Copies of this chain bind each other. A is one copy, B any other.
Amino acid sequence: MAAAMIAPGSAIGILGGGQLGRMLALAAAQLGFDVHIFTDEPDSPASRVAARTFVGNYLDRAALADFARRVQVVTTEFENVPAETAQALIDAGARVAPSPRALAVAQDRFDEKSYFQSAGIATPPFKAIGSQEDLDAAIAEIGAPAILKTRRLGYDGRGQIRIDSADDARGAYAKLGAPGILEGFCAFEREVSIVAARGADGAIAFYDLNENEHAGGILSRTTLPAQVSASVTVGAQNAARRVLEAFDYVGVLTIEFFVMRDGTLIANEMAPRVHNSGHWTIEGALTSQFEQHIRAVAGWPLGPTTRIADIEMLNLIGEDADAWPQLAADPSARLHLYGKRDTRAGRKMGHVTKLIL
Contact = CB atoms under 8 A, between A and B. Distances in A.
A357 interface: yes
Contacts of A22: 29
Interface in A239-258: none
A338 B325 CA distance: 31
A17 B303 CA distance: 29
How many copies of this chain does one complex carry? Answer: 2
Contacts of A34: 48, 339
Interface string A329-348: 10100111111010000000
Nearest to A308: B357
A185 interface: no
Interface residues of A, number: 45
B5 A325 contact: yes
B31 A335 contact: yes
A50 to B, nearest CB: 8
Nearest to A8: B337
A331 B303 contact: yes
Contacts of A336: 30-32
Contacts of A325: 5
Contacts of A49: 25-26, 29, 49-51
Given A337-B8, A355-B286, A328 B308 contact: no
Interface of A: 5, 7-9, 22, 25-26, 29-35, 47-51, 286-287, 295, 300-301, 303-304, 306, 308-309, 321, 324-325, 328-329, 331, 334-339, 341, 350, 355, 357
